[in-house]
Amino acid sequence: MSAVLTSMPPSISPSPPALLIRPTRGLAALNLRDLWLYRELIYFMTWRDLLVRYKQTVLGVSWAVLQPVLQMVVFDLLFNRMAGLSAEGFPYPIFNFTALLPWNMFAHALNVASRSLVSNRNMLTKIYFPRVIIPLSSIIASVVDFLIGSVVLVGLMIYYHLQPTAHYRIEITPALLWLPAFFLLAFISTLGVSLWLSALNVVYRDVGHVIPFLTQIWLFITPVVYSSREISASWRVIYALNPMVGVVDGFRWAILGTQAPDGSVWVSVMAAVAVLLSGMVYFRRMERTFADEI
């Protein structure tokens, strides 16, 4: 021990800045400054989530590709060939896959993030760091899966683009420039819902039981296996309250060139922002007592 300690410089800064600990009230401390100070922790936690997810698996990261592909195959079989759902004239697999990518990011992040605080209980009760890092890094890990999965999408696009007798055209259009915006919408929605659920789960473990249900039902109120054109115009505004509706419509428009989203996309945007803001407030309010309640 002494060998180690003698090599440590007595590096005490003349007067370290003071940190004030006091009861926080209201939104005063969303504490973005701390989040910035701890940015490396976000990186490390994400890295841990990814490492752990694929450790001791034979196929490793290939699962990030296999999962959505298998899903696509099953959905194609069930909803296209058996139920005969239309794909706005596009081949069903690619039509489905453009929705599966953001949807899986959303559903998977929801699943992991909502349990994340509870499963990292020992960290929460022992040391300080901005609590939001825990759900946030599970979400970012899902983004990485999303990026890996998009390789498949590119492959699908090339494959269908080269089909000689196609009655459709898969091409890169200027609408693709909008993709980052819709990705952001997906991210905001994911973060907002995850903040709510993870904080709720600390106090009410019921949330853990609700999640599988919730994602299943949410899948069917989102146009993943079907086209949103099936929804009658009078319901569209209410339908678009689900922010994932705007995300999926946007993805399909940007990638496949389906009909451009109408005004109802703004309903999705506002819903996503509302969920995020309220989620931040709720999370912040609960954060104070996480260590006591968890």
Partner 1 sequence: MSDYAIRVQNLGKQYKIGMAPNRYRTLSDALVNLFRPAGRAAQRGYIWALKEVTFEVRRGQVMGIIGRNGAGKSTLLKILSRVTEPTEGEAEIRGRVGSLLEVGTGFHPELTGRENIYLNGAILGMKRSEIARKFDEIVAFAEVEQFIDTPVKRYSSGMYLRLAFAVAAHLEPEILVVDEVLAVGDAEFQRKCLGKMSDVAQQGRTVLFVSHNMSAILRLTEETLVLDHGRLAYRAPTPQAVDYYLAAGFSQEGMRLWRAEDIPAEAVPFRPIALRVCDGQGRVVDSLRSVEPITVEVEYQLDAPITGLRVGIYLLTMRGEYVFTSFDTDDPALFERFSVRQAGHYLSRAVIPANLLNEGRYLLAVNASAFRVKRYFQDEQALAFTVDGTGAPGKHWPEPRLGPLRPALDWKIEKTA
Q: Name the residue among 261, 258, 219 with its Cα closest to residue 237.
A: 261
Rounded to whole angstroms, the Cα distance separating 56 from 47 reads 16
State the minimum distance, in angstroms, from the CB of residue 143 to partner 1: 19
Q: CB of residue 265 vs partner 1: minimum separation in angstroms?
A: 33
DSSP string covering 63-74: HHHHHHHHHHHH
The nearer residue to partner 1, 15 or 165, going by C-beta atoms, is 15
Instruction: Return the residue of 33, 35, 36, 48 that touches partner 1, per CB under 8 A.
Output: 48
Query: Least Å distance between CB 287 and partner 1?
Result: 8
Q: Does 263 bind partner 1 (CB under 8 A)?
A: no
CB of residue 136 to partner 1, shortest distance in Å: 14
Which residue from 30, 35, 123, 219 is in contact with partner 1, where contact means CB under 8 A?
A: 123
In angstroms, give the least distance from the CB of 94 to partner 1: 36
55 part of the interface to partner 1, by CB under 8 A: yes
Among 35, 41, 214, 273, binds partner 1 (CB under 8 A): 41
Distance from C-alpha of 145 to C-alpha of 156, rounded to nearest angstrom: 17
Element (H, E) at 191: helix 179-203
Beta-carbon contacts of 239 under 8 Å, excluding residues fewer than 6 positions away, are 221, 228, 231, 245, 264
The dihedrals phi and psi of 289, each to the nearest 5 degrees, come to -115, 10
Contact call for residue 26 and partner 1 (CB under 8 A): no
Choose one: 83-91, 108-116, 121-129, 165-173; the region binding partner 1 (CB under 8 A): 121-129
Distance CA 144, CA 150 (A): 10
Q: Of the candidates 231, 270, 277, 291, which one interacts with partner 1 according to CB under 8 A?
A: 291
Q: Which of 36, 128, 220, 266 binds partner 1 (CB under 8 A)?
A: 128
For partner 1, the binding residue among 52, 74, 158, 217 (CB under 8 A) is 52
Residue 165 makes contact with partner 1 by CB under 8 A: no
Pick the closer one to partner 1 by CB: 229 or 288: 288
Specify the residue, 153 or 291, whose C-beta has the smaller distance to partner 1: 291
**Judged by CB, which is closer to partner 1: 161, or 288?**
288
Contacts of 84-91 spanning 24+ positions with Cβ under 8 A: 85/225, 85/226, 85/227, 86/226, 86/227, 87/227, 88/227, 88/229, 88/252, 88/258, 88/259, 89/167, 89/168, 90/168, 90/170, 90/256, 90/258, 91/160, 91/168
Based on the shown chain and the rule CB under 8 A, indicate whether residue 10 belongs to the binding site for partner 1: yes
Provide Rg for the chain, Cα atoms. 22
How near is the Cβ of 201 to partner 1 at its closest, in Å?
A: 9
Rounded distance between C-alpha atoms, residue 13 and residue 273, angstroms:
43
Q: How far apart are CA 293 and CA 13, in angstroms?
A: 36
Scan for tokens 């090339």, then name that residue: 158
Residues binding partner 1 (CB under 8 A): 1-2, 4-5, 7-8, 10-13, 15-24, 38, 40-41, 43-45, 47-48, 51-52, 55-56, 120, 122-129, 202-206, 288-289, 291-294
